[in-house]
């Protein structure tokens, strides 16, 4: 069974159609990289999947459960002018979300690591990791601490458990953010350009952590500009362009052998910058 299934996802901001019908699915343990040129809708896709944005159309199914489903709604008729006959009542398909309270809990299946970390500055590393498990999952402090320390081991930062975010480097902050997301035990961990706010030398430590999480079977969806990394670590790559998936497949195939002109152009540009 697919861990994530996205069906015909559409999202607009006002008149701007940002996602124009996205379909894909992910298997357990799969690492999926989303690449594509700026403004293509990668961040919007990730924010929609983590319920920070509401989509207009499409379904989001996690672990077989339709968190966002679809239903038909009557289209509001325009006001009739005199003498006009009412047109036939039309309907349109729209996404349906559960109630806020329900969504808050169901949404926990999707974890998110932000580009700029968003750690809570007033809490220590351990405090950042145990806050949500205690408040949301009602774990005791001891239970939450055990899990938090386990996650800190995974990202190699157990010695920083009592440090405050301002005392950490960018790479360390990002690893703490990864551990914090893991503490909630999400079905899928999403990353939005996890290294783009980091200096090149700090990028590597974060990418190494992500690679090691893959070995441990964590299902991950990663928006990234690190093409080499996507090629080496991801199983699958999606190339998103102007709100549509224009290429999708085995990571090495898509990156080494793009079929569309847009993807060729993009990958060429990126590789010439990196050289």
Partner 1 sequence: MTFLDVTIELLIACGYTLGIFGITLVFSIPLGLIFSFLSRSKIKVVRIIMRVLIWIIRGTPLMLQIIVVFYVPGLVFSMPMRNRMLAVSIAFVINYAAYFCEIFRGGIESISVGQYEACQVLGLTKAQTFFKVILPQVIKRIVPPMSNEIITLVKDTSLANIIGIGEIILTAKEIVSVHAIIWPLFYTAVFYLIMCGILTIVFRKIEKKLDYYKG
In the complex, the smallest distance separating the C-beta of residue 106 from partner 1, rounded to whole angstroms, is: 9
Residues 32/235, Cβ–Cβ less than 8 Å: yes
Q: Which is nearer to Mg ion, 44 or 130 (CB)?
A: 44
Written as six digits, the tokens of 38 are 């700026």
Q: How many CB atoms lie within 10 A of CB 200?
A: 7
Residues 119/173, Cβ–Cβ less than 8 Å: yes
User: Which residues make up the interface to partner 1 (CB under 8 A)?
Assistant: 50-52, 104-105, 107-108, 110-112, 114, 116, 118-122, 131-132, 135-136, 164-166, 180-181, 184
In the complex, the smallest distance separating the C-beta of residue 121 from partner 1, rounded to whole angstroms, is: 3
Q: Which is nearer to partner 1, 73 or 120 (CB)?
A: 120
16-26, strands of its sheet edge to edge: 16-26, 4-13, 57-62, 65-74, 91-96
In the complex, the smallest distance separating the C-beta of residue 272 from ligand ATP, rounded to whole angstroms, is: 18
Binding mask 2-41 toward Mg ion (x if CB under 5 A, else -) reads: ----------------------------------------
Residues 6+ apart with CB under 8 A from 152: 125, 126, 129, 158, 160, 161, 176, 179
CA–CA separation, 18 vs 38, rounded Å?
12
Residue 16 touches which of ligand ATP, Mg ion, partner 1, none (CB < 5 to 8 A by kind)?
ligand ATP
43 forms part of the interface with Mg ion (CB under 5 A): yes
Tell me, what DSSP letter sits at residue 166? G
Residue 93 touches which of ligand ATP, Mg ion, partner 1, none (CB < 5 to 8 A by kind)?
none
In the complex, the smallest distance separating the C-beta of residue 220 from Mg ion, rounded to whole angstroms, is: 17
In the complex, the smallest distance separating the C-beta of residue 95 from partner 1, rounded to whole angstroms, is: 18
User: Which residues make up the interface to ligand ATP (CB under 6 A)?
Assistant: 13, 16, 18, 38-44
Nearest to 19 by CA among 37, 43, 50: 43
Please state the length of the chain: 275
Nearest to 242 by CA among 49, 23, 58, 21: 21
236 forms part of the interface with Mg ion (CB under 5 A): no
Residue 38 touches which of partner 1, ligand ATP, Mg ion, none (CB < 5 to 8 A by kind)?
ligand ATP
Residue 245 touches which of partner 1, ligand ATP, Mg ion, none (CB < 5 to 8 A by kind)?
none
In the complex, the smallest distance separating the C-beta of residue 131 from partner 1, rounded to whole angstroms, is: 7
CA–CA separation, 233 vs 194, rounded Å?
14
Binding site for Mg ion (CB under 5 A): 43
């Amino acid at each position: 069974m697919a861990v994530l299934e996205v069906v015909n996802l559409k999202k607009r901001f006002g008149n701007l159609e940002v996602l124009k019908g996205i379909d894909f699915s992910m298997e357990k343990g799969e690492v999926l990289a989303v690449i594509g040129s700026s403004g293509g809708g990668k961040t919007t896709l990730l924010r929609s999947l983590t319920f920070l944005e509401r989509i207009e159309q499409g379904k989001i199914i996690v672990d077989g459960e339709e968190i966002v489903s679809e239903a038909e709604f009557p289209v509001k008729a325009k006001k009739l002018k005199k003498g006009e006959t009412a047109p036939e009542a039309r309907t349109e398909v729209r996404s349906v979300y559960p109630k806020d309270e329900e969504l808050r809990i169901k949404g926990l299946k999707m974890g998110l690591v932000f580009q700029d970390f968003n750690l809570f500055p007033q809490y220590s590393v351990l405090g950042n990791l145990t806050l949500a498990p205690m408040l949301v999952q009602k774990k005791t402090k001891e239970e939450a601490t055990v899990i938090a320390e386990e996650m800190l081991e995974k990202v190699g930062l157990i010695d920083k458990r009592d440090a405050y975010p301002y005392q950490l480097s960018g790479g360390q902050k990002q690893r703490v953010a990864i551990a914090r997301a893991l503490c909630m035990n999400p079905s899928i961990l999403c990353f939005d350009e996890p290294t783009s706010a980091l200096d090149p030398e700090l990028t590597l430590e974060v990418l190494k952590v992500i690679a090691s999480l893959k070995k441990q079977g964590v299902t991950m969806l990663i928006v990234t500009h690190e093409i080499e990394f996507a090629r080496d670590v991801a199983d699958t790559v999606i190339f998103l362009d102007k709100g549509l998936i224009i290429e999708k497949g085995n990571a090495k195939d898509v990156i080494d052998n793009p079929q569309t002109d847009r993807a060729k152009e993009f990958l060429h540009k990126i590789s010439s910058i990196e050289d």
